Amino acid sequence: MLGDASPLTCRSYGFDLLRWYRVLWALDVGWEQATEAETAALVGWLRSARNPQRQRRAGGHRAGTVNPKTGKPTLRAGYAPVTIAHNLSAVHGFYAFHLHFGRGPVVNPVPENRARRAALAHLSPIEARAAYRRGRLRPKVPARQPRALPDHQWDELFTQMKCARDRALLSCYVSSGARASELLGVELGDVDWTKGQLWVISKGSRARQPVPVSPEALAHLAAYLEEAGLPPDGMPLWRTRRGQPRPLTYWAARRIIQRADEAIGANWTLHDLRHTAATRLARDPELTLVEVQTILRHAHISTTALYTVVGLDDLVDKLAEHYARPVQATTWPQRYEASDIEAVFGAGR
């Protein structure tokens, strides 16, 4: 909080420290006496325990398997490697903060990875990242590739939206590329109908910035406001539909996608809508990568370049044409003599 981090960041670090303290309480060790042995106990527990947030409903795909329709892996039953790495970073920062004021153990219980710090120090964006070894107790964190909805699956998901609010919400997500929490905070005064844009509070800088929105999304938004009425001053556009109108939370918006997923057998998420918008923009030949970076508000263009990578799912039609074409016979340029080819490659060539 003193470092001016966002409330969500403080909340996330608070849960990380709560896990750490629960391990210390179970081992009957004070936080001032913690060593690397307690960190090893934390990592071992996280790698074997079940995550209570990963409880799956009966009839769904087994945890950790790949959804056959979307090609996305379902969430594991336990804690993900990125969660374990984040927890270790939070605990390391906690003890580094107290060590500065002369409190806690002299040696940080979370091992430092000096090779990583040396490899990433003063790194130029145009230079390749140097390889480095993982620190002790650090899990293997796989590189996450963006997952965009194919056009036919987007149409199928959009068909499951049963009210004007949900149709407007999804249209704004997939045309603006805004993050989930950013779009949910938009108020009536943040809609610029003439320019076709919305003003959002950016997640990283917390600055008020514009994002584009398609005419189709504005039409759905107008239909939603006509049906639900204009929100009072200070209330976001997106409100609940039952009982007294309240601002639509992230968890409620996520549940909208989950209900649609259950109906079509998919496992798309709210953040996949941002991936879909970014992929569509990055693959538009009329838009440069720098322009897409401006729309998505990425700090580094290398992040935007991730959306230009072509996946195997995008090559299905081209591969079908490739396999349908007959095998081409080997031909040789006319400037080579037949005797020369036979001498080099042998008879029968």
Q: Would residue 300 show up in a list of annotated catalytic residues for this protein?
A: no
Residues in the chain: 349
Q: Where are the domains of the chain?
A: 7-121, 151-307
The whole-angstrom separation of Cα 296 and Cα 278 is 7
Q: Would residue 349 show up in a list of annotated catalytic residues for this protein?
A: no
* pLDDT value at 56 more than 70: no
Q: Which residues lie closer than 8 Å to 49 by C-beta, 6 or more apart?
A: 78, 79
229-277, pLDDT tens digit by residue?
A: 999 888 999 999 988 889 999 999 999 999 999 999 999 999 999 999 9
Q: Would residue 307 show up in a list of annotated catalytic residues for this protein?
A: yes
Segment 172-201 shows an average pLDDT of 94
Q: Would residue 203 show up in a list of annotated catalytic residues for this protein?
A: yes
* pLDDT value at 63 more than 80: no
295-337, pLDDT tens digit by residue?
A: 999 988 888 988 888 777 777 778 888 888 888 777 766 677 7
Nearest-5° angle of CA 61, CA 277, CA 144? Answer: 50
Catalytic residue among 92, 138, 179, 280: 179
137-185, pLDDT tens digit by residue?
A: 999 888 778 888 988 999 999 999 999 999 999 999 999 999 999 999 9
1-44, pLDDT tens digit by residue?
A: 888 888 888 999 999 999 999 999 999 999 999 999 999 999 99
Catalytic residue among 165, 220, 274, 280: 274
Catalytic residue among 72, 203, 254, 283: 203
* pLDDT value at 136 more than 50: yes
**Selection from 132-136, 200-204, 258-262 with the highest mean pLDDT:** 258-262
- pTM across the whole model: 0.81
Q: Which residue has the tokens 């049963």?
A: 162
Look at the domain 151-307 and name its fold.
hpI Integrase; Chain A (1.10.443)
Catalytic residue among 72, 98, 254, 271: 271
